[in-house]
Amino acid sequence: MKRLSIASFLFALLALSASAQVTFIFHDGAALGVVGTTFNDAGDGSGTATVSEITLTAEAFLAGVSAGTELNGAGDGYGINADGTGDETQRFDNDLGIESMVFSFDVGGTFNTLDLRYIEESSNEGVLSFEGGGTYQLNSVTATGGEDIVTVGETFSAGQLITLTLHASAGAGENFALESFTVTSAVPEPSSFSALVGLAMFGFVGSRRRREVSAA
> Could you tell me how many residues make up the chain?
216
- Model confidence pLDDT, tens digit, residues 150-205: 999 999 999 999 999 999 999 999 999 999 999 999 876 555 445 444 544 545 44
Give CA–CA dist 137/53, Å, rounded: 29
Is 14 domain-assigned? no
pTM of the model: 0.81
| Residue 35 placed within a domain | yes
Does some domain include residue 205?
no
8 Å CB contact between 211 and 204:
no
Measured distance CA(68)–CA(64) in Å, rounded: 11
What's the chain's average pLDDT? 86
Q: Which domain holds residue 85?
A: 22-181
Structural domain tally of the chain? 1
In a domain, 191, yes or no: no
CB 78 within 8 A of CB 114: no
Using DSSP's 3-state secondary structure scheme, residue 55 falls into strand
Lowest mean pLDDT among 40-49, 93-102, 159-168, 189-198: 189-198
pLDDT band at 43 (very low <50, low <70, confident <90, very high): confident
Instruction: With CA atoms as reference, report the closest residue to 156 among 186, 190, 189, 116.
Output: 186
Backbone torsions φ then ψ of 102, nearest 5 degrees: -105, 130
Check pLDDT > 90 for residue 143.
Answer: yes
Query: pLDDT at residue 15 above 70?
Result: no
Asked if residue 15 is part of any domain, the answer here is no
Q: Assess contact for 80 and 101: CB atoms under 8 A.
A: yes
Domain-located, residue 77? yes
Task: Examine residue 208 and state whether it is found in any structural domain, yes or no.
Answer: no
Give the span between the Cα atoms of 202 and 130, in whole angstroms: 42
Q: Which of 27-31, 39-43, 118-122, 210-214 has the lowest mean pLDDT?
A: 210-214
Q: Does some domain include residue 154?
A: yes
- CATH code, 53: 2.60.120
Q: What is the pLDDT of residues 16-29, one digit of tens each?
A: 554 689 999 999 99
